[in-house]
Amino acid sequence: MPPRPSNPNCRQQTRRGFLSTCARLGASRLLRRSPLALACAPPKATTARSGFGGQFVDIAAAAGLTLPTIYGGTDRKQYILEADGCGCAFLDYDNDGWMDIFLLTGTRLDGNPEGNSNRLYRNNRDGTFTDVTLQAGLQLAGWANAVCVGDYNNDGFEDIFCTYFGQNRLFRNNGDGTFTDATQAAGLAAPLGRPVWSSGCSFVDYDRDGHLDLFVSQYIDFDLATAPRPENDVNCRWKGVPVNCGPRGLAPAFPAQHVLYRNNGDGTFRDVTREAKIGGKPRAYGMTVVAADFDEDGWQDIYIACDSTPSMLFMNNRDGTFREEALDRGVALSDDGAEQSGMGVAVGDVRLTGHLDIFKTNFADDSSVLYHNDGRAQFTDITRPSRIGTETRFVSWGTGIADLDNDGNPDILVVTGSVYPEVEAKLPAYPNKSPRIIFRNLGDGRFEQVSNQAGPGIATPHSSRGCAFGDFDNDGDVDVLIVNMNEPPSLLRNDLKTSHHWIKVKLIGTRSNRSGIGARVLVHYGGKVQAQTLASQSSFFSANDPRLHFGIGPAAVADIEIFWPSGTVEKLRAVAADQLVTVREGGGIASRNPFPAPRNQGSGKP
């Protein structure tokens, strides 16, 4: 969210002598307040250097994804609660080798519309999906935010954790197509009282005991009974238009800033926030959480995109505690030292250095940021030289660093949408619905925007939030699932026009957690190296296909190095392209699946 208007408690002016500023010295100060906080809706002409191979078509309706994501008002949002939206996931809940879809939903202030619920769609392996929400026991509606996916009980089936304004939910996968709400049993029930607003979440084995722990970020301390409304608070304005207030002016979440739950290994969790030294850093509006080993020391670190406050990077001390070092490491602020409205996070290796870079999406009139990692978790802001910084028109949310055209250079996709639908009537430069953005990686450190060359699925405007990347049709490219506010989702099928090669890597942990979450995988191809990590959440509040997809360009083979979260390092030589390899920790390649995959592939067993 943006640095938004304040509430009445924060009205006290601090700029001293404001009357004389303008009156006596003239208008210059009205504009010259800050160096160049200038970025403001520049329409961009796309001048692509060469054809982009990825072509995206929205096939959601044909695939059976026709139910809308309900989230607050459609034309007007009274409260920030209605504005942030929610995420989605690609996951293979039935282990049949095909990505299924889980979509969160919100509700409305005046009550939940009949039939509105989170949705689980089973992949029919023919480009369509079947709604199995009810059978699966996942019917639930509320102010949902994030989803993260991981096998917390190491039984071979992916479980689902969802955050809410209200009670978060842990859904244990029973392995028979159904889920059980295990929130209470797992010790994750919130104390009674006013609802807590949890935002991002991530499964992470921070102590390397082979069990997935759980990190939950918190947003604001919000109470519908007292929250300011646009019409009765002059400070709830954006560019002069009355809008929903926050997060600025609203207190950060309570009771703790962010929460770390340790997995006891018996199906329960214990709050270790304090002893892990997570809770000491006050005042941050947490959003998307990504856990990864950024300094390559074999231990998981945690990055949180924060809204209107400095983003946070908790570095793992390898003793069960963390230290927050985002500022020192260059990933807290913009290159001018300003807080940004961090929403989504993508982690990948844009310069092919073998290290995990961070891409963070922000609000309109600001650009997303790209931080390059030197391998020791010292980051350099490369937003400007990479040419990412010229795009500032829209509020940006879900994102991924993914090789959309399999040329061996990972690209960046961003979905966008306003939090103030009422603004466009007065300010057409800030539309409610806006197109998706693709930055094509040119392979020389620079990107070019190719949004108008990537098919109608990219160009068509929506007010989008979360998105997940995955290959739902098992054809060897990256497709995209997108949550749209008060609309059905988009399912962007990538009809790739290139003949580049690729490799997918699926991980099965043995000493590590069963999902392999936290593993860092290096793929060497054609003289290049690319790093990826398996995260249980990224983008915006969403979870990607856990099969890591590497475009490898013209290369026919690749070497693969896997740095398992347990510390095990595994190397696989000369792996042939265009196949999914499933690697069992310590045992090498367990299976090879050339794509396109046959429809009867997959056992349904762990």
Partner 1 sequence: MKTLRHVNWAISFLCAAAVAAQTSHPASTRGSCLAGQSLPEAARELKLGHIAKARVIADGLHRCTGLTPRQRFDLGLIYGRLHDFPNALALFRSVDDDVPNLQAHAYAIALGQFELADYSGAIETLQHLRTQTPLDNDSTNLLAASDSKAGRYQDAYALLVEQVHKNPVEPLGYLNLITLLTDVGQLEQAEKLSARAVEVFPGNVQMLLVHGAASTAVGRLEEARNDFAAAVKASPQLADPRFFLAVTDYKMGHYDTAAHELRAAIAAGIVDADLEYLLAECLLKIDPGDSVDALKELDRALKSGSPAVQAHVLRGKLRLEQGDARDALPDLEKAHRLAPDLRSATYNLARAYAALGRKAEARLLFEQIDRQSVDMVNELNELRIKQIMQ
Q: How far is the CB of 38 from partner 1 (least distance, A)?
A: 5
Q: Does 226 bind partner 1 (CB under 8 A)?
A: no
Q: Could you tell me whether strands 119-123 and 129-131 are parallel, antiparallel, or unpaired per DSSP bridges?
A: antiparallel
| Distance (Å, whole) CA 105 – CA 116 | 8
Q: Which of 150, 249, 286, 417 binds partner 1 (CB under 8 A)?
A: 249
Contact residues for 348 (Cβ-Cβ < 8 A; gap 6+): 356, 357, 359, 400, 401, 402, 410, 531, 532
DSSP assignment letter at 511: S
Helix (H, G, I), strand (E, B) or coil at 126: coil
Q: Does 425 bind partner 1 (CB under 8 A)?
A: no
Contact residues for 286 (Cβ-Cβ < 8 A; gap 6+): 199, 200, 217, 218, 219, 253, 257, 258, 304, 305, 306, 307, 312
Q: Which of 180, 328, 375, 497 binds partner 1 (CB under 8 A)?
A: 328
Q: Which is nearer to partner 1, 223 or 328 (CB)?
A: 328
Q: Which is nearer to partner 1, 7 or 167 (CB)?
A: 7
Judging by beta carbons within 10 Å of its beta carbon (0-12, 13-18, 19+), is residue 34 exposed, middle or buried? exposed
Q: Which of 48, 256, 429, 589 binds partner 1 (CB under 8 A)?
A: 429
| Distance (Å, whole) CA 111 – CA 521 | 45
Q: How far is the CB of 448 from partner 1 (least distance, A)?
A: 11
Q: Does 430 bind partner 1 (CB under 8 A)?
A: yes
Q: Which of 111, 115, 193, 240 binds partner 1 (CB under 8 A)?
A: 240
Q: Which is nearer to partner 1, 202 or 386 (CB)?
A: 386
- Find out whether 275 and 317 touch, Cβ atoms under 8 Å: no
Q: Residue 449: which H helix or E strand, with range?
A: strand 447-449
Here's the x/- map for partner 1, 374-393, by CB under 8 A: it reads as ------xxx-xxxx-xx---
| Site size with partner 1, rule: CB under 8 A | 76
Helix (H, G, I), strand (E, B) or coil at 122: strand
Q: What is the 3-state secondary structure (H, E, C) of 31-82?
A: HCCCCCCCCCCCCCCCCCCCCCCCCEEECHHHHCCCCCECCCCCCCCCCHHH
Q: Does 24 bind partner 1 (CB under 8 A)?
A: yes
Helix (H, G, I), strand (E, B) or coil at 25: helix
Q: Which is nearer to partner 1, 297 or 336 (CB)?
A: 336
Q: Which is nearer to partner 1, 385 or 567 (CB)?
A: 385
Q: Which is nearer to partner 1, 115 or 337 (CB)?
A: 337
Q: Which is nearer to partner 1, 4 or 524 (CB)?
A: 4
Q: How far is the CB of 232 from partner 1 (least distance, A)?
A: 13
Q: Does 230 bind partner 1 (CB under 8 A)?
A: no
Q: How far is the CB of 249 from partner 1 (least distance, A)?
A: 6
Q: How far is the CB of 16 from partner 1 (least distance, A)?
A: 3
Is the omega angle on the peptide bond into residue 255 within 30 degrees of 0, that is, cis? yes
Instruction: For the beta carbon of residue 269, count every other beta carbon within 10 angstroms.
Output: 21
Q: Residue 326: which H helix or E strand, with range?
A: helix 326-329
- Find out whether 204 and 291 touch, Cβ atoms under 8 Å: yes
CA-based nearest residue to 179, from 98, 259, 91: 91
- Which of these ranges, 152-160, 335-343, 456-464, 594-602, lies near partner 1 under the rule CB under 8 A? 335-343
Here's the x/- map for partner 1, 26-55, by CB under 8 A: it reads as xxxxxxxxxxxxxxxxxxx-----------
Q: Which is nearer to partner 1, 102 or 303 (CB)?
A: 303
Q: Which is nearer to partner 1, 14 or 226 (CB)?
A: 14
Q: Which is nearer to partner 1, 45 or 192 (CB)?
A: 45
Q: Which is nearer to partner 1, 37 or 185 (CB)?
A: 37
Q: Does 191 bind partner 1 (CB under 8 A)?
A: no
- Which of these ranges, 10-18, 196-204, 478-486, 512-520, lies near partner 1 under the rule CB under 8 A? 10-18
- Interface residues for partner 1 in 446-465 (CB under 8 A)? 446
Q: Which is nearer to partner 1, 10 or 576 (CB)?
A: 10
DSSP assignment letter at 22: H
Q: How far is the CB of 306 from partner 1 (least distance, A)?
A: 10
- Which of these ranges, 61-69, 331-339, 513-521, 523-531, lies near partner 1 under the rule CB under 8 A? 331-339
Q: Which of 310, 421, 455, 457 binds partner 1 (CB under 8 A)?
A: 310
| Distance (Å, whole) CA 1 – CA 15 | 24
- Interface residues for partner 1 in 522-561 (CB under 8 A)? none
- Find out whether 268 and 187 touch, Cβ atoms under 8 Å: yes
Q: How far is the CB of 47 from partner 1 (least distance, A)?
A: 12
Q: Which of 94, 151, 205, 339 binds partner 1 (CB under 8 A)?
A: 339
Helix (H, G, I), strand (E, B) or coil at 148: strand
- Find out whether 160 and 149 touch, Cβ atoms under 8 Å: yes
